[in-house]
Structure 1
Amino acid sequence: MMGMDRPVHVSLSTTDMDEARSFCRKLFYGPLQVNPTGDVSGFAFSGDVVMLGPITLGEISYGSDIHVTIADLETAYHVLAPVTGTLRSRHRGTVVMADPTRAAVYRPVGDIDLEWPGSCRLLSVKVERAALERELDATLDQRIVSPLLLGASFDLIDGPGRTWASLVRLLLAELRHADGLAAQPRMASRWRDLLVSGLAMTVEHPYGEEPAGMQGPNRPRTVKRTLDAMHAEPWRPYTANDLAAIAGVGVRVLQEAFRQHVGMSPLTYLRRLRLDGVHAELSRSDPWQVSVSEVAYRWGFTHLGRFAGAYKSRYGVPPSQTLRERR
């Protein structure tokens, strides 16, 4: 558990663009650039922010269309979860249309570019880099890559994302008031730890037995047996018939079970597992000692052209760029 901290609540409502910029830079990131993109007559910034140890929670809106840019976050991971409207987010080559059904996730490394319409009000959650990495490391009990290889977004309507977003809303609402349980340091620290650990179990990542959000305690044995085989030897040239034989059922039965309990077909899951493995290895490898092709072959990809296309579609950049960045 992290040490106890007292929450600090700060809020601002203003029609002054410079005052809004200063507020966000002070509470979130110094290099943050905020510029209007259209009519500013309706500009009305509203920021309600609570700082609690390694986390900063805020509900933010601008009232008119703006463009936000920031270079590497460096010291933090960040999640933006719109309450209203749609935010166009670009980070590390991946574009996410964040709205009340989907949150955008940012790693410490990589420029961020946001097209933020006046209709968009969102929850902004900043988590110090060390806190989330320590939590994920403890949860998985294994050595992880830093910065974490997180997915670019997650679902806010179903599964763990829904619960995590509800926790953020509840904690922010409670921390705004000085007379609630959350204002007590011991309770605040427990809620804060719950938010960090919840995020570690919500975001998509290639660590552990399965990507986050894909666990399912009620899966049938046929699905579990197939997943175990794929995770044990992801490089094997499995066919649909091979996986069905491992499961002990027909191909169509296994495919339907996977769609129901995993959300995708067995071969789609296997490709995703392999891509995440390649991505993790390229991110921590020395470009002078390994090549993209040998890593791809090691994870079971035999057609480099199709592999490169699938990799860029999933991560927004070609595999060679990941290897060069080593971040």
Structure 2
Amino acid sequence: MAGLPVDVPVHVALHTTDVEEARAFCRKLYYAPLRIEPVGDPGRFDFSADVVELGPITVGEVGYGTDIRVSIGDLETAYHVLVPLTGVLRSRHHGAMVLADPTRAAVFRPIGHIELEWPGSCRLLSVKVDRAALERELDAALDQQVVSPLLLGASFDLIDGPGRTWVALVRLLLAELRGADGLASQPRMAARWRDLVVSGLALTVEHPYGEEPAGLQGPYRPRTVKRALDAMHAAPARAYTSRELAAIAGVGVRVLQDAFRQHVGMSPMTYLRRLRLDGVHAELTRADPGTASVSEVAYHWGFTHLGRFAGAYRARFGVSPSATLRDRS
């Protein structure tokens, strides 16, 4: 296509036992506010990274050889996905704890501090996507304006569905771009692959918007389901009942519940509770701990029973809502 933007892939690699050299490499390619501290045997520190920069994406395979702790300041400019190829990575981001392994990726939004416990047994794919690129793609895919930063799920499945396909695409792209004579080394072809990585991520990661709020549950969603989803997103704090949502959709309660389970993967009320919990989580991560209170934010999002709310919040994010507010950075 004549108007296709062209980005020339840049391939860089490093293998070193020097911690400072590894820090400098990661700060240059990923984020300046980044700290790397070995917590295992420092004599086993053996950093290796093979990374390709391609316009708005940076894709690499990274390992450290020994247990380390990584601390990253507010991302601000990018979304990030970590996909362990071996081992288990433990992450903490805005009050949410995620264990990532070869079956599940960790996803980070461009807001808040990140702490990673990265064992020497863990080698992973690191995928950085510029904030504007992913937001433009999701906005275009859904044909509606999205709120920045995107309210994304903290992880996604790598065994079945779109997550498996997306990771296979990323691995193939990285393998192709490492070589000098592959098809992807051609700038225009590389640009097409780059766009596939960005658009594929937009359709893979969980988000609360219109057509695909549960991460591509199906290519078609009935109008009855969409009516209920639109109503919930328009007024998530409203005290909906199953009967009211069914009336909005124009079907019976049982029909709507069956349609939601088939096309969204959960019941309407479960979806509404998750939508509210994600809204509370996003607000707590932005709030000032000195002036905001968990109860006020919870009430604002329609939770009237604070005990049940706290239990549901902890089940979804792994920490209490007060911890999310207190740990805001």
TM range (shorter): 0.7 to 0.9
Report the alpha carbon displacement of residue 269 of structure 1 after superposing the two structures with TM: 1.8
Aligned to 2:52: 50
Report the alpha carbon displacement of residue 54 of structure 1 after superposing the two structures with TM: 1.2
Query: Mean alpha-carbon deviation: is it higher for 123-132 or for 272-281?
Result: 272-281
- Report how many residues are paired: 325
Letter in 2 for 1:42: R
* Match for residue 97 of structure 1 among 96, 99, 103: 99
Deviation digits for residues 111-134 of structure 1 (CA, Å, limit 9, x no counterpart): 111111111110001111222222
Aligned to 2:304: 302
The equivalences for 1:37-186 within 5 A come to 37-186=39-188
Q: Secondary structure at the match of 1:25?
A: helix
Aligned to 1:318: 321
Query: Mean alpha-carbon deviation: is it higher for 194-203 or for 296-305?
Result: 296-305
Query: Mean alpha-carbon deviation: is it higher for 96-105 or for 239-248?
Result: 239-248
Q: Kindly tell me: are residues 222 and 72 of structure 1, through their superposed partners in 2, closer, same or farther at Cα, counting changes over 3 Å?
A: closer
Q: Kindly tell me: are residues 290 and 2 of structure 1, through their superposed partners in 2, closer, same or farther at Cα, counting changes over 3 Å?
A: farther
Alpha-carbon separation, structure 1, partners of 2:327 and 2:46: 42
Contact kept, 8 Å, 1:240 with 1:266, in 2: the verdict is: yes
Q: Kindly tell me: are residues 79 and 179 of structure 1, through their superposed partners in 2, closer, same or farther at Cα, counting changes over 3 Å?
A: same
The equivalences for 1:242-261 within 5 A come to 251=254, 258-259=260-261, 261=263
Percent sequence identity over aligned pairs:
73
Query: Mean alpha-carbon deviation: is it higher for 17-26 or for 167-176?
Result: 17-26
Report the alpha carbon displacement of residue 203 of structure 1 after superposing the two structures with TM: 1.8
Letter in 1 for 2:11: H
Letter in 1 for 2:321: P
Deviation digits for residues 1-50 of structure 1 (CA, Å, limit 9, x no counterpart): 87211001111222333322222222212232112112234332221000
Q: Kindly tell me: are residues 317 and 140 of structure 1, through their superposed partners in 2, closer, same or farther at Cα, counting changes over 3 Å?
A: farther
The equivalences for 1:265-276 within 5 A come to 265-276=267-278
Alpha-carbon separation, structure 2, partners of 1:63 and 1:320: 32
Letter in 2 for 1:57: V
Q: Secondary structure at the match of 1:173?
A: helix
Aligned to 1:192: 194
Q: Kindly tell me: are residues 45 and 282 of structure 1, through their superposed partners in 2, closer, same or farther at Cα, counting changes over 3 Å?
A: closer
Alpha-carbon separation, structure 1, partners of 2:122 and 2:288: 41
Report the alpha carbon displacement of residue 244 of structure 1 after superposing the two structures with TM: 6.9
Q: Secondary structure at the match of 1:134?
A: helix
Deviation digits for residues 137-162 of structure 1 (CA, Å, limit 9, x no counterpart): 22233333222222211111122211
Q: Kindly tell me: are residues 225 and 238 of structure 1, through their superposed partners in 2, closer, same or farther at Cα, counting changes over 3 Å?
A: same
Report the alpha carbon displacement of residue 91 of structure 1 after superposing the two structures with TM: 0.9
Alpha-carbon separation, structure 1, partners of 2:63 and 2:292: 46
Contact kept, 8 Å, 1:155 with 1:162, in 2: the verdict is: yes
Deviation digits for residues 62-109 of structure 1 (CA, Å, limit 9, x no counterpart): 111111112112221111100111001111111110001111111222
Instruction: Using structure 1 for the length normalisation, give the TM-score.
Output: 0.83
Deviation digits for residues 199-257 of structure 1 (CA, Å, limit 9, x no counterpart): 12222222334424154236678766765665566555444566678685675x86666
Contact kept, 8 Å, 1:76 with 1:126, in 2: the verdict is: yes
Q: Kindly tell me: are residues 314 and 61 of structure 1, through their superposed partners in 2, closer, same or farther at Cα, counting changes over 3 Å?
A: same
Instruction: Using structure 2 for the length normalisation, give the TM-score.
Output: 0.82
Aligned to 1:263: 265
Contact kept, 8 Å, 2:289 with 2:325, in 1: the verdict is: no
> 5+ residue gaps in structure 2?
none
Q: Secondary structure at the match of 1:142?
A: coil
Alpha-carbon separation, structure 2, partners of 1:77 and 1:61: 20
> 5+ residue gaps in structure 1?
none
Alpha-carbon separation, structure 1, partners of 2:293 and 2:113: 26
Aligned to 1:213: 215
